[in-house]
């Protein structure tokens, strides 16, 4: 009888411990309700909207080209680049991250013009950083302007779900009013275009990239935990890609472009995209209070004088 009681007690403790682990990993927050901007635009077939950037043998197109699996192994990572360059718009992808130990792995969905402006390039980054045994995937946002790679504007968040179980939407609004980063349509960061210091705002046409690569030197705890290729290949899935906005024509003035997509919504000048709604502002405040664990605007050890937009 005592043995049976001990067994029941042990089982109860085991279930309790497992509940703690699961709860810790999934961060069981219920996000606020917001407008689903990702429902406003058509999906772009990956085989039609993108070219292979690097690691071609590690890129697998599936579902008639509507989805892509990108792999990182000892030989290479993999990357896609949009066939068009954009001057403002709405950019989104449903991403399912590699499961298991993934320290040092970086999955990125971002905008860049480094190929056109190698020394003065702009960049708007969504980077998902792999984890060691004790931590969840981290969601990092960053902005570079005019080649300011030494003064990136990073902010880091935990997610309120397990990003390895299914696809989740990661999105960017970029227009002349602001740049907004969203996760499952929840805004987590807004970078406002202030004319008083407009030189720190991305303003040149950019391509869209989807990549997976080895960030061992910095990605997990400042490079403390490099990629362990014992667990390779690391495979990320991209689906439901949306790229709507202003397609740049290199032979025309920079402000001249053609509209991408068939949606009646305009992410460049439309009222739903040039200013966050009250509902979106409240949701962003929720995300930043609950989930943000680093902001460059609070890093006084790194910046003796904080960047102007932080004030």
Cα–Cα distance for residue pair 238/69, rounded to 1 Å: 6
CB 188 within 8 A of CB 283: no
Active site residue 127: yes
Cα–Cα distance for residue pair 115/187, rounded to 1 Å: 29
Active site residue 272: no
Q: What share of the chain is helix, strand, coil (3-state, %, to 5)?
A: 25, 35, 40
| Preceding peptide of 164 cis, ω within 30° | no
Catalytic residue among 123, 155, 190, 242: 123
Closest C-alpha to 239, from 62, 57, 41, 35: 62
Catalytic residue among 127, 155, 190, 242: 127
Closest C-alpha to 182, from 91, 99, 247, 263: 91
Angle at 80 between CA 40 and CA 94, to 5 degrees: 35
Tell me the catalytic residues: 123, 127
């Amino acid at each position: 009888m005592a043995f049976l009681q001990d067994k029941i007690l042990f089982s109860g403790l085991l279930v309790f411990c497992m509940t703690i682990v699961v709860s810790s990993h999934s961060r069981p927050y219920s996000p606020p309700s917001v407008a689903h901007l990702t429902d406003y635009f058509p999906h772009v077939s990956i085989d039609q909207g993108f070219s292979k950037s690097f690691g071609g043998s590690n890129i697998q197109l599936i579902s008639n080209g509507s989805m892509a699996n990108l792999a990182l192994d000892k030989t290479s990572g993999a990357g896609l680049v949009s066939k068009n360059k954009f001057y403002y718009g709405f950019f989104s992808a449903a991403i399912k991250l590699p499961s298991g130990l993934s320290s040092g792995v970086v999955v990125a969905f971002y905008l860049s013009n480094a190929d056109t402006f190698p020394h003065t390039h702009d960049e708007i980054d969504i980077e998902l950083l792999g984890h060691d045994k004790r931590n969840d995937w981290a969601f990092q946002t960053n902005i570079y302007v005019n080649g300011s790679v030494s003064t990136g504007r990073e902010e880091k968040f935990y997610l309120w779900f397990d990003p390895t179980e299914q696809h989740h939407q990661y999105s960017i609004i970029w227009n002349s009013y602001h740049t907004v980063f969203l996760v499952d349509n929840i805004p987590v960061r807004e970078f406002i275009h202030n004319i008083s210091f407009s030189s720190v705002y991305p303003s040149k046409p950019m391509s869209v990239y989807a990549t997976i690569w080895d960030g061992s030197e910095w990605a997990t705890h400042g490079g403390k935990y490099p990629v362990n290729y014992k667990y390779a290949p690391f495979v990320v899935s991209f689906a439901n890609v949306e790229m709507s906005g202003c397609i740049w024509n290199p032979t025309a003035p920079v402000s001249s472009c053609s509209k991408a997509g068939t949606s009646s919504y305009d992410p460049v000048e439309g009222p739903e995209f040039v200013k966050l709604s009250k509902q979106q502002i409240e949701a962003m405040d929720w995300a930043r209070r609950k989930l943000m664990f680093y902001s460059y605007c609070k890093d006084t050890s790194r910046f003796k004088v904080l960047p102007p937009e932080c004030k």
